[in-house]
Structure 1
Amino acid sequence: MIRMMVILASALLTTLTWTHEISAASWDFIYECDKLPDDPALKDKVWEVYKTQGIATSDVCEITAKKELHITDPDNKVCFFMQPVKNAEKATVEARVKVLSQSGVGYTILLGIEDGAIYTWLDLFPDRVQLDGGESHKVDMTDYHILRVARDGNDVTIYVDDEKAIQGQPGGTGDRKNIIFGAGSTAGTGEHYWDYVVFTTAGAFSPKELPNFLSMQAIGSRGKVTTCWGTLKHQS
């Protein structure tokens, strides 16, 4: 009886520790790409949009049957999305994305963190990702991959599918304070799909400290593995 109680107590402690590790950090903002980023139905989660004058977001963006944001960026068009933040000195942004084509400057397709005087852009290409102004990492982006940008002051770490890929520094200067993604150049063209974009400004977290959003979707409110809509979406 005593031995059984010890086993149960040990199992409970392990469960509590595991739960604490998962919940120690969390995503502050979640966008699942099931609506256009500037759709009023998103309410307080709506994104600000910067786009070429005279076009509608729906001219270059659509939500697919699989609930993905599909951006087709023709020449002379720009359409990127911004979520204002107060302080992004320590921040983490993650997206599941694939890039079918890109022609133009690096930031034609981008995911990034803008913190006033300092910006951190991850430029996306069909065959690689590149820290704007810095190193690149070869990866076949024509298939979906989970990309993470973690900024800790002047240190930036890029993760691809939970593996560290690039270590570098922020790129340049600006005047905005945003999390940003989308089609960033009028001179370039591209076609890309976004499955989700999530971020937190509570810190620069590795995947061990804050699991990727896709894996967290399979965990129920009581820590049980479940089959949910999000899981089915990503498996389709």
Structure 2
Amino acid sequence: MSLPIVTATRYVLPLREGGSLPGVVEGNDLGTYVLKFHGAGQGPKALVAEIIAGELFRRLGLRVPELKLCELDPAIGRSEPDEEIQDLLVRSAGLNLAVDFLPGSFGYDGSSGEPDRATRARILWLDAFIANVDRSWRNTNLLVWHKELWLIDHGAALYFHHSWMSAQRFAALPYDATDHVFSTVARDVPGIDAELAAEITPELLTEVIALVPDEWIADGDRERYHGHLCARLADRSAWLPGGAR
């Protein structure tokens, strides 16, 4: 199983949010995507985190925009008049990550109604599991589209891979939920802990890690991701929001 591959046919506009400068592109399948570049500041590891976290969330019943791989011809970059964007596009020639563009979506701020408590607790548990530090009220990384909640931007998760801290250290790494957008349901999290932990099988982790293309991952690192996540799953008392059950 692998992610679908499309080819970018036109660069539409930049999304000047954060430091990675993703852009909207059109694909040869007539789709429109938010393209995240392997040549951006965090490099391909941010894209690895996007795939592993996003596809894990999807398989556990949460809405994540469809992810595809996208080939980018350097000729598209050379025709871009903005020098900063041109440099990024040329540097990112080859395979990048395409996230389905949700036209008319808007950032979640609670004003359009909150998801039910069980969904909020599920999101908080999963963010704690993958050590996602980027889901606060300042930047929820949640979109509302057709009255449904969609989760985006998981490139800051799995940050153990930037220094490859040991699996034991990552397993015991506390998660500070006080700044999380759904911190108010932290006391509900222990009640769903066993159910969620049982859903994340070694086979499921193998499946989502296998979706990462070889170009972005070093030899042996698939096993390291798997080992780190299995270790964190096995020792949840240190990081479980709301305390161990």
In the superposition, the TM-score normalised over structure 2's length comes to: 0.25
Normalized per residue, the structure richer in strand is 1
Q: Which has the larger radius of gyration?
A: 1
* Higher RCO (Cα < 8 Å, 6 or more apart): 1
**What TM-score does the superposition give when structure 1 sets the normalisation length?**
0.25
